[in-house]
Each structure stands twice: as C-alpha cells, then as structure tokens.
C-alpha cells in the first residue's frame, strides 16, 4: 500500500497544472511493432512454435514512448532524436502526430535506418523479439543541427528528459550542451541512464536507474535482495555511492515489484512500495516513471508526491500488455477518494 499522503484532490490539482507545462524529450527514438497471433502446434522443421498471424500494431518506442506517456497526461511535448528516411520513419512520424507530440526536433538522416523492435506475441506471451537498429554516432553535421535545435528550444521548456537507450544519440558532447542550458534557464533535467556508455552523469536534477543499472553505475555486485529495500545493505550502499559520485538533486531507483527507492541530498532514503495489482508486461514501465515523476515535479509536487504519482502510473501500465500509457482519469481512479 502506498503510504505517501497524496489525496485524490491533490492529484487532480497536479494533473490540472501539468497540462500547462512543456517538456522536451531527447533520446533514442524507435518504432515498436507487435505481431499478434496464436500457437497451436510446433514446427516440424525445428522445435519452435508456429505462430498463426492474427493482426499487427505499432506504437512509438524508446524515447518516443516517454513522449507518448507525457502527451497522455496532457502536457505539451516536443521530441528530439534521429530517424531514417524509410517507411518506418514516416509511420512513426504519423503515430507521433496522432498522439499530439511535436516532431520538429526529429532529424531524418539518409542512410540511417529507423530503429524498430518487432515483438511476436501469442496468447499474451512474447515468443521472440527482432531488433533492427542503428546505434552508431551521429555524423558531426547532424549532431550540430540537433544541438542548434535544442539550444533554441530549451529556454522555453519547463523540463528536459534525456532517454538513453545506448543507440548512439546520447553523448557527453550532447550532455555538455544540455546541462548548462538547463542550469542557466532553471529547467529541470531528468535522465534515464545506460551504464554501458560511461557518460558524465553529474549535474542532473533526477537520475532514474533500475536496480541492475544502479549497481553497475556504482561499480558494485548485487549480492543480496532483501524483502525490504530499506534493509537491503548492498542497495543502500549503491544508492549512497551514486548520490556521492553524481550529486543529483534526486535519485529514483526503480525496483520492479518492490516499487521504488527515492533518495535526496538531505534526507534518508524513502521506499515507495508498488501499487500494481496485476503485472502483464513491464515493457516501458521505466518510461512511464520518468515521464510522470518529471511532469509532477514541474507541476509543483514534492519529490515524495511525484514518486507516489509515478508509482501509481507505473502500476497502471504494467497491468496492460505492450508499451502503454496511463491517463489522468486512470491515475485519479487509482487513488482512494477523500
């Protein structure tokens, strides 16, 4: 049970204010493709299931899913990233427009394929995932164009979310542009990290690793998994190291079915237990957390209130299959009436 004193009326007020906020999302953009079917036999050619096709669907993925989660909550969103000039780029662009997400920050690069994750699903179980992606660095002229567009957009934003999926867009050069811009214009800066990059993660407002990423960033082995995160010595040590090393204003470690651990510079860590009743699919739950938390903060929430709201949003999306979003109405309904 969520112990944070956050009333439904307070949630309603935060969500109302959130509609007046503008957030930029910068990161690795993808197209999520789902092929749906059912399995009734095993292939005679190899010991694999034969999936009989029923339908397919498409959703914005990666950083585009972060943007989609923000748009579902009603705020103004602009997405910055890179796609190719292929049919998948056009399809993703149409999807983003359908979700009222600004696309002026998307660069189309000839010769670069749009990243696509294709999931084959049968009986609500993922059978296999096929990835087609570009993960090389941007050519200098393209990087320069992206930097100029961001430099123009950041001063008018309330927050920037950097969504790193290790596909080549997020670099130290890009972060060294964004961080001083955000400081100069008092813009909140959140980042969802990928430890394999070795990026300079100092100077952030919010860092949101999951448990595995937190241990990797801290240079520690995860040797224990206590039932109570506040009594989990290795987790507490990893969090303390990240706070000391990177000095974020806030650290939010997502813990799957254990909820979240919120750390601040001047207080003891706070555990926010999960509120999920059913878990069908955790795909994209981290996107929901960073989107909802950041939006709540710039709408005036305290860190504890933002964590509680993000926790409820995540509890809603993991109860759906595939990358999903939580609407304001669903979030409101998840809080008990006064």
Confidence (pLDDT) at 4: 54
Q: Which candidate, 335, 235, 224, places its Cα nearest to that of 275?
A: 335
Confidence (pLDDT) at 278: 67
CA 234, CA 305: separation in Å to the nearest integer?
26
Confidence (pLDDT) at 279: 65
State the average pLDDT over residues 73-86: 96
Q: Which has the higher per-residue pLDDT, 77 or 284?
A: 77
- Structure tokens that stand for 256 in this block: 């799957």
Check whether 211 has a pLDDT greater than 80. Answer: yes
pLDDT band at 1 (very low <50, low <70, confident <90, very high): very low
- Structure tokens that stand for 25 in this block: 């999302």
- Structure tokens that stand for 202 in this block: 């100092």
pLDDT digits (tens, 9 = 90+) for 265-314: 988 899 999 886 666 666 678 999 999 999 999 999 999 999 999 999 99
Backbone angles phi, psi at 325, to 5 degrees: -130, 165
- Which positions are catalytic? 287
Segments making up each domain of the chain, as ranges: 8-30+62-110+135-334
pLDDT band at 2 (very low <50, low <70, confident <90, very high): very low
Structural domain 8-30+62-110+135-334, CATH architecture: 3-Layer(aba) Sandwich (3.40)
Give the per-residue SS3 of the chain.
CCCCCCCHHHHHHHHHHHCCCEEEEEECEEEEEEEEEEEEEECCCCCCEEEEEEEEEEEEEEHHHHHHHHHHCCCEEEEEEEECCCHHHHHHHHHHHHCCCEEEEEEECCCCCCEEEEEEEECCEEEEEEEECCCCCCCHHHHHHHHHHHHHHHHHCCEEEEECCCCCCCCHHHHHHHHHHHHHCCCEEEEECCHHHCCCCCCCCEECCEHHHHHHHHCCCCCCCCCCHHHCHHHHHHHHHHHHHHCCCEEEEECHHHCEEEEECCCCCEEECCCCCCCCCCCCHHHHHHHHHHHHHHCCCCHHHHHHHHHHHHHHHCCCCCCCCCCHHHHHHHCCCC
CA 262, CA 252: separation in Å to the nearest integer?
5
Backbone angles phi, psi at 285, to 5 degrees: -65, -35
Confidence (pLDDT) at 319: 82
pTM: 0.93
pLDDT digits (tens, 9 = 90+) for 30-39: 999 999 999 9
Q: Which has the higher per-residue pLDDT, 322 or 50?
A: 50
pLDDT band at 166 (very low <50, low <70, confident <90, very high): confident
pLDDT band at 160 (very low <50, low <70, confident <90, very high): very high
Check whether 318 has a pLDDT greater than 80. Answer: yes
Share of residues in the chain with pLDDT > 70 (%): 96
pLDDT digits (tens, 9 = 90+) for 117-152: 999 999 878 899 999 988 888 999 999 999 999 999
CA 14, CA 310: separation in Å to the nearest integer?
12
Are 334 and 288 in contact by the 8 Å Cβ rule? The answer is no
């Amino acid at each position: 049970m969520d112990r944070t004193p956050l009333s439904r009326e307070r949630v309603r007020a935060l969500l109302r204010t959130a509609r007046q906020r503008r957030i930029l999302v910068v990161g690795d953009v993808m197209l999520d493709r789902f092929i749906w079917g059912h399995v009734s036999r095993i292939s005679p050619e190899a010991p694999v299931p034969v999936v009989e096709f029923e339908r397919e669907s498409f959703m914005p993925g990666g950083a585009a899913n972060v943007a989609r989660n923000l748009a579902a909550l009603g705020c103004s969103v602009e997405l910055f990233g890179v796609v190719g000039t292929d049919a998948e780029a056009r399809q993703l662009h149409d999807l983003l427009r359908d979700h009222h997400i600004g696309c002026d920050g998307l660069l189309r690069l000839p010769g670069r394929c749009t990243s696509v994750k294709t999931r084959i699903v049968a009986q609500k179980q993922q059978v296999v995932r096929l990835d087609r992606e570009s993960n090389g660095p941007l050519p200098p002229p393209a990087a320069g164009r992206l930097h100029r567009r961001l430099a123009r957009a950041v001063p008018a934003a309330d927050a920037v979310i950097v969504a790193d999926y290790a596909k080549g867009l997020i670099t130290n050069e890009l972060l060294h542009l964004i961080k001083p811009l955000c400081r100069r214009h008092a813009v909140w800066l959140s980042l969802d990290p990928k430890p394999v990059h070795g990026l300079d993660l100092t100077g952030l407002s919010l860092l949101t690793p999951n448990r595995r990423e937190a241990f990797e960033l801290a240079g520690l082995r995860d040797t224990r998994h206590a039932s109570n995160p506040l009594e989990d010595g290795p987790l507490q040590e990893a969090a303390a190291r990240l706070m000391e090393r990177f000095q974020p204003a806030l650290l939010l470690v997502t813990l799957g079915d254990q909820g979240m651990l919120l750390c601040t510079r001047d207080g003891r860590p706070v555990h926010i237990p999960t509120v999920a009743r059913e878990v069908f699919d955790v795909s994209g739950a981290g996107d929901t957390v960073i989107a909802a938390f950041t939006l709540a903060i710039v709408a005036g929430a305290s860190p504890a209130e933002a964590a509680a709201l993000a926790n409820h949003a995540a509890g809603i999306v993991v109860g759906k299959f595939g990358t999903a979003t939580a609407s304001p109405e669903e979030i409101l309904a998840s809080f008990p009436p006064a």
